[in-house]
Amino acid sequence: MASNDQAGDVATYAASVRAALSDLPSDQAEVLLEDLEDHLREIAAEADGPLSERLGPPEQYAQELRAAYGAAQGERRKDPALHDLQRAVARVMGSAWYRELRVFLPELRPAWWVLRGYLLVLVLTAAFSPGYNLRPIPNPFSKRGLLEIVVAVFAIVVSVRLGRRNRPLARGGRLLAIGANVAIAILALPVLINMGTFPYAAVMTYAGQSVDQPLYTPSGIVTNIYAYSKDGKPLTDVLLYDQEGRPLTLNKDGGDVTSDYPIGADGLPITNAYPLKQRHLNGDPVPTPRVALPPWPATSPTASPSPTASPSPSPSPTR
């Protein structure tokens, strides 16, 4: 049996809930508040503590009842079947796991503020750079990767500052903010799923024809290959093939450069001859990069075999 304290708490809480819903039509209020005291007594009997700690303030509980039933102020609903739904909602809101979840979710807001800025940069990068191999952490040793990191840090700082604003938003602004957060999360899902975490992509063939795919290194996509001999001399027209003997061809989408391929005797372009002759979109040739050649071991001279000495004649026996 409930104690006097619990009975008084139930009566006070129920009266506050009824007062918060007093603006509803009588028939709708009757459906919403039917057996309210019975529900509150069941919740109060499950554990100690005032109902305001378990269900929140009475006004908030009343507002949640409105939202659960879709009851807006002045709207009439005559469906008594909502009685069972009311009982189920009251049990959920009075459960221990629901209370713990309501307390825990606000603690995740700072983490979402940081993640929101990061995801926004990923979505914009994927939208304006189709075919670019996005990675969870950009390469800080490349210009593009460094730019991604700087933009991501800026977006995270702005996102956190917006999240820490103490001034509450109006209803329209709140709905707009919720919609923007949901849109960022939904748009980021395919970007995260298609995010390339592989270090490179090789050439494939299908039906006897080569299919070029991007080749990646830790510093980004490869657009050209330069070959050198071991004594440091640059090599030209070097033909590259993979382990199956197929031409190793880079992706034709080189960003802001165009490639001029040599034409073979059969009239077809030779796309695996390196280095490629490339030009920027403004017509300027792409300069040869400066490379650091590894120290090649010096070839040790091979010792020539000494001539074999002819055996001296054995002395003839003396007689």
Listing DSSP states for 109-130 in one string gives HHHHHHHHHHHHHHHHHHHHST
Contacts of residues 33-36 at CB distance under 8 Å and 24 or more positions apart, as own/partner, are 34/83, 34/86, 35/83, 35/86, 35/87
Residue 80 to residue 93: CA distance in whole angstroms: 21
Structure-model confidence comparison of residues 61 and 46, the more confident one: 61
pLDDT at 117: 92
User: What 3-state class would DSSP assign to 180?
Assistant: helix
Q: pTM for the complete prediction?
A: 0.40
185 pLDDT exceeds 80? yes
83 pLDDT exceeds 70? no
User: Six-digit token pair at 266?
Assistant: 């059969």
pLDDT at 68: 65
User: Six-digit token pair at 34?
Assistant: 């039917």
Choice among 112-116, 194-198, 259-263, 283-287 with the minimum mean pLDDT: 194-198
Residue 169 to residue 175: CA distance in whole angstroms: 9
The burial class, CB within 10 Å (0-12 / 13-18 / 19+), for 17 is buried
Residue 91 to residue 165: CA distance in whole angstroms: 34
Residues in Cβ contact with 85 at an 8 Å cutoff, skipping those fewer than 6 apart: 68, 69
Residues in the chain: 319
Residue 184 to residue 264: CA distance in whole angstroms: 50
pLDDT at 305: 57
The burial class, CB within 10 Å (0-12 / 13-18 / 19+), for 120 is buried
pLDDT at 52: 76
User: What 3-state class would DSSP assign to 169?
Assistant: coil
Q: Which residues on neighbouring strands pair with residue 102, listed in sequence order?
A: none
Whether the ω angle into residue 25 lies within 30 degrees of 0, i.e. cis, is: no
User: What 3-state class would DSSP assign to 287?
Assistant: coil
Q: Average pLDDT, stretch 62-70?
A: 72
Q: Which residues on neighbouring strands pair with residue 239, listed in sequence order?
A: 273
CA distances, 185 to each of 117, 177, 254, 304 (Å):
11, 12, 31, 74
pLDDT at 150: 92
